[in-house]
Structure 1
Amino acid sequence: MTRSTSRSSSRTKPKPSACGLHVNIDDAETLLPQPVRGGLRRGLSARQVQMIAISGTIGTGLFLGTGKSLAQGGPASILICYAIYPVAGSFNAYATRFFSPSYGFALSWSYWFNEAVSVTSDLTAAQLVLQFWTPSYPWLVSLLFWVFLILLNSFHVKAYGEVEYWLSFLKVATVVIFIILGILVNVGVNQSHTYIGAHNWLIPGAPFIGGFGGFAKVFVTASFAYGGTESLGITAGETENPSKNMPKVVKSVFWRILIFYILSILLIGLNVPWDYPNLSNKTTTTSPFTIVFTLAGSTVAGSFMNTVILTSVLSAGNHALFAGTRVLYGLSVVSPTPHAPRIFSRTTRAGVPLYALLATSSISVLCLGSSSIGSGQLWGWLQNIVGVSTQIAWLSIGLASWRFRKAWIRQGRSLDEMKFRASWTWPWGPYFVIIAVTSLILIQGWSSIFPTFSPVDFVSLYIEIPIMVIMGLCWVLAKNTFIDSIPVPGNADHPNETTTLIPRNAGTQEAHSKWRSDIVDIQTVDLYSDEYADEPLDEVKDEPKGKRFSFFWRLYDMLA
């Protein structure tokens, strides 16, 4: 299959895919099923994407997961672990293109499952939050939230973006209020009118709880909490003018999340003792945010904070369902061989991949099992699964970044041609990510083995690894056993010609020679097909504010 060499030709105008990459229209329209009704829509503004990235992170991991982390590791452990972790990037399709198709296949399905389980985790977290008011019928709130999320994601992407923006704005405002309130509580503006200072770091057992095992446990919870930043790249396919908006969003989101998390974690460790009653157990988990608000005033303040946490749970679930749906859509439109059934590529007239949405949301029925297992226990297991999957995603970001930059340089392209690059982390950044994250994945399950072996915890912490290996091997076996049994279009000179490919196990010498390494050759990998070319419409959308109001818009962008 050949591609036109003219980058300016209308035939090779890039079309957005769900993972932030783009496929050529002439390739896609031939290879992809025609029931696709126009594909995804570019309906997300930079304002919305920025808030979506923040909302995907500031959620149940910060509001509830910190309670579990504090109880298991102590104030020092959570401060160190949460300070190590903030990263962001796009990875699924890039791992396939620049590292290994089999690895990318396994990674993409793993990440889809990660997002689907994240929705389940958020719906289970809603049950934990509800227990602040009543322990009755916890599954009912999960069911109502589940229906609401499906309906919301069934509309145009603009509706999702706008709802997510305001839910995220509420969360960000709450975190800011919490930081101010946490400082006041610590210096004595609390119900007992006593100065707390670093007292909770000095109580028996603190600042490190459970030794190295407790410290290692916090890493997976921190991964769960920071999970979401890496899905920022998934929104690129539905973002207006991504070449300008995405770099701006990436830069701002990193520092905002870092500041929010570190200050919040520090204040939680200072104000809440690690042995606070019902902070984290099999049946319930209490948010440290709610505890601090209660310490500041009354039960009413605690109820207010709990209400905000409930909306943040809804926002986090909304983000996870959106991201998971787009990942599954992206798997179904990979060319020339789709990685998922093509039915998931079908979209409504509004550009919503409805079948992918229903498949992703169906995993969430697991949350109804919490009534027999215990919401706290189930949520802990789901946290482990999602946290490890997030770490694998970050490892893949390092691999993809390393291979992409090597291919760019090896093929003689100037770094100035890149529309965005993080120059201060090169060349050590990718290597650090690969080594550090791999080490963490291997050692964080220490507490499930020592001092006593916990089979369920061990499986929840390590199940992703054998699944990734098995899926990758299945892809290699399938690709080396059979050539894709789909018609391949002819070249630009003979567009109507097709060639039906034959099984590789046909017994010919040529077939046996097809067995080869799955690692991508960076010398020949295509660096052009997914480049986004700015369109005149993008330029128009960049200028509506006018010079008179430019200062106020810059101030708004900075605050928002």
Structure 2
Amino acid sequence: MELQPTASLDKGGDTRSADVVSRPQGGYVDRILSSFGPHPNYKPRKATGDAAFNLEQANVAIAESPLSRRLKGRHLQMIAIGGSIGTGLFVGSGNALRSGGPAALLIAFALIGMMLYCVVHALGELAVVFPVAGSFSAYSTRFLDPAWGFAMGWNYAMQWLVVLPLEIVAAAITIDYWNSPVNKAVWITIFWVLIVAINLFGVKGYGEAEFVFSLIKVIAVIGFIILGIIINCGGGPKGGYIGTMHWHDPGAFAAGFKGVCAVFVTAAFAFAGTELVGLAAAETANPRKSLPTAIKQVFWRITLFYIISLTIVGLLVPYTEKRLVGQSSADAKASPFVIAIENAGIKVLPSIMNVVIMVAVLSVGNSSVYGSSRTLAALADQGQAPRIFSYIDRKGRPIVGIIVASLFGLLGYLAVSKKQNQAFMWMLAISGLSSIFTWGSICLAHIRFRRGWKLQGHSLDELAFKSQPGVIGSWLGFSLNLLVLVAQFWTALWPIGEDPKAEVFFSSYLAVPVVLVFYFGYKLLFWTSIVRAKDMDLVTGRRELDIAELLADERAERAAWPVWKRVYHFFC
């Protein structure tokens, strides 16, 4: 079988063929089967037999990963905008509203939004300089401690591995909104096949699917905001001006300060997935150009999609609404968005909103396969996971990771068993605090990177993209993540309106001991040490090394822009 390799020069300055595609001659089936063969640039990691962790080799391995670089700017922007618009906003906000009230909802989501703004800017700065496989877990290994990088990598991979079956079941549950007579197992099969098929198309398939999913979610949120304003002003079928009536009766707060803390934790979970834009940097054609724009989109997501839509939800739905208590995290009947539309007397739109919720659930399931497979591949490249996970095929897919993630999705069939509630509760417990650890580690890695960058004689002018809140923002983001852990500990140990229960506590806080076991276990096994600032590797993995003159020209060009254009590009 004759192979015709085609090489392309990365616009970001990388002369290595980043996306070599071997095009075998033959029929359609032959081409499909051949695509699973090893990538021309794939270099299997060899066992060294060395008992110590080799940080230098790990940095080189993730920098030379042959993952496909086919994501474009539009893909990254939609991943950034729609990455965290999911059931946390559409359904989870209902439980948050019931627990804390409309004022607590806004306060908590605004604080978490501010935290995420700091986190993604820190991630953006690191990802533009080092668009390497594994992203944030690799940054923990490089700038903090290899043992912590190991813990963060497996923590993140486990999060997405258990999220996939949960989201597949959630998608099947959304069908119950229409009282479907079809067995739930049938819908689980359909959604599983759809998600797996999308990811088998490679990173381009993931990018295109997320582009469409995110576009649907964005249109839905904007449409709801417009509709909500009309309903609030008395323009719905039932008429009647609502205004701030529900803020006075039943009130703005449901459970005082403890209610705010409970919503604080829920809000943190709602934003899970925001960091995926950094993970995708390694598979982006030109991260220096695409990533900054995508990172800045977070400002609009926080402001427009979360704060404004939740303000309207708090105006239209009282926290005493009984329907806010759903059967699951994807029960559309418990969505405050659906309840607000139903209360207004509109007949067709609730079903449309349920379709949007189903799309949001599938989007998260799609991201779970992507996130877990890429993280497992990066861990294997660094020698922190079985070598087989590092295998990259001709299409640039970490196919072993995709297969393992897909097999985990089959756990969704537990939904038709008698033990489904217990099984899913503990699966959710494993993934519950994963994002908090990830975000905190990103902030800490950025702080340590800046320290090493300065100590080794570099200036901030050498950075193609600088975090707008800077190191102060990373300290703020790190502190807020610690605050979430404290708030979660309090609300898990003493739940609102309930007595302390060991089962309730561990179902909310299980991720903490799991992470600590990973960290100290690896540290005792390999005796890793904290990476010193003066010893940090600030070269390996950088696609562009000598761009000072290019950056100076770009800054001079931006300085000549009119004020309106500079303001626009500051935010976008």
Q: TM-score, normalised by structure 1?
A: 0.79
Paired residues of 1:190 and 1:295 also in contact (CA < 8 A): no
Pair 1:461 & 2:505 matched:
no
* Deviation, structure 1 residue 51: 0.7
Shift of 1:321: 1.7
Match of 1:44 in 2: 71
Return closer, same or farther for 1:457/1:339 CA change in 2, 3 Å cut-off. Answer: same
- The answer for the alignment partner of 1:474 in structure 2 is 521
Matched, 1:528 2:539: yes
The amino acid of 2:202's aligned partner reads H
1:304 to 2:352 alignment: yes
SS of corresponding position for 1:132: helix
Q: Bigger shift: 360-369 or 41-50?
A: 360-369
Q: 1:77 aligns with which of 97, 104, 116?
A: 104
Aligned counterpart, 1:272: 317
Cα distance in 2 between the residues matched to 1:15 and 1:465: 41
Alignment map for 1:145-294 (pairs within 5 Å): 145-204=191-250, 206-282=251-327, 284=331, 286-294=334-342
Residue 184 of structure 1 aligns to which amino acid in structure 2? I
Corresponding position: 1:328 with 2:376: yes
TM-score w.r.t. the length of structure 2 is 0.77
Give 3-state SS (helix, strand or coil) of 1:445's partner.
Answer: helix
Residues 277/30 of structure 1: CA separation in 2 closer, same or farther (3 Å cut): closer
1:32, distance to aligned residue in structure 2 (A): 5.7
Contact 1:282 1:374 in 2 (8 A): no
Number of the residue aligned with 2:553: none
Call closer, same or farther: CA 1:532–1:59 in 2, change over 3 Å. Answer: same
1:238 shift after superposition: 0.8
Say whether residues 1:144 and 2:182 are aligned partners: no
Residue by residue over 1:484-509, the C-alpha shift from the partner in whole angstroms, topping out at 9 and shown as x without a partner, is xxxxxxxxxxxxxxxxxxxxxxxxxx
Secondary structure of the equivalent of 1:428? helix
**Structure-2 residue corresponding to 1:134:** 179
The size of the alignment, in residue pairs, is 481
Q: Which residue of 2 aligns with 1:452?
A: 499
Q: Which residue is equivalent to 1:319? A: 367
How far apart are the structure 2 equivalents of 1:276 and 1:467? Answer: 37
Amino acid at match of 2:412: C
Instruction: Give the Å deviation of 1:460.
Output: 2.4
CA distance in 2, matches of 1:308, 1:289: 11
List gaps (5 residues or longer) in structure 1: 1-11, 18-24, 481-516, 540-556
Per-residue CA distance 1:82-110 (angstroms, 9 max, x = gap): 11113122521111110111011001100
Task: Tell me how far apart the structure 1 counterparts of residues 260 and 418 of structure 2 sit (CA, whole Å).
Answer: 26
RMSD: 3.2
Q: 1:487-540 CA deviation, whole Å, 9 max, x = no partner?
A: xxxxxxxxxxxxxxxxxxxxxxxxxxxxxx61101111110111112899xx9x
> For the Cα contact (< 8 Å) 1:282–1:376, is it kept in 2?
no
**CA–CA distance in structure 1, aligned partners of residues 303 and 425 of structure 2:** 24
1:113 equivalent in alignment to 2:161: no
What are the Cα deviations for residues 35-93 of structure 1, in whole angstroms up to 9, with x where unaligned?
A: xx983111110101111222221111111111121122221111111111131225211
Q: Post-superposition shift, 1:241?
A: 0.7
Deviations 1:296-318 (A, max 9, x none): 45331111111122122112211
Give 3-state SS (helix, strand or coil) of 2:243's partner: coil
| Contact 2:151/2:518 (<8 A) preserved | yes
Shift of 1:131: 2.2
Code of the aligned partner of 1:54? I
CA contact (8 A) 1:16 1:237 kept: no
Q: 1:475-494 maps to which residues of 2 (within 5 A)?
A: 475-480=522-527
Percentage identity across paired residues of the two chains = 36
TM-fit CA distance, 1:207: 2.1
Q: Over residues 399-436 of structure 1, what are the superposed CA-to-partner deviations in whole Å (9 max), with x where a residue is unaligned?
A: 1011000000011101111111124x233222222222
Change (3 A) 1:31 1:282: closer
Does the C-alpha gap of structure 1 residues 436 and 236 become closer, same or farther in structure 2, counting only changes over 3 Å?
A: same
CA distance in 2, matches of 1:263, 1:376: 34
How far did 1:293 drift? Answer: 2.8
Note if contact 1:44-1:240 (Cα within 8 Å) is conserved in structure 2: yes
Mapped contact 1:221–1:384 kept (Cα < 8 A):
no
Which string of whole-angstrom CA distances, capped at 9 and with x for unpartnered residues, describes residues 344-389 of structure 1? Answer: 1112221111110121233334433344579899877766654411
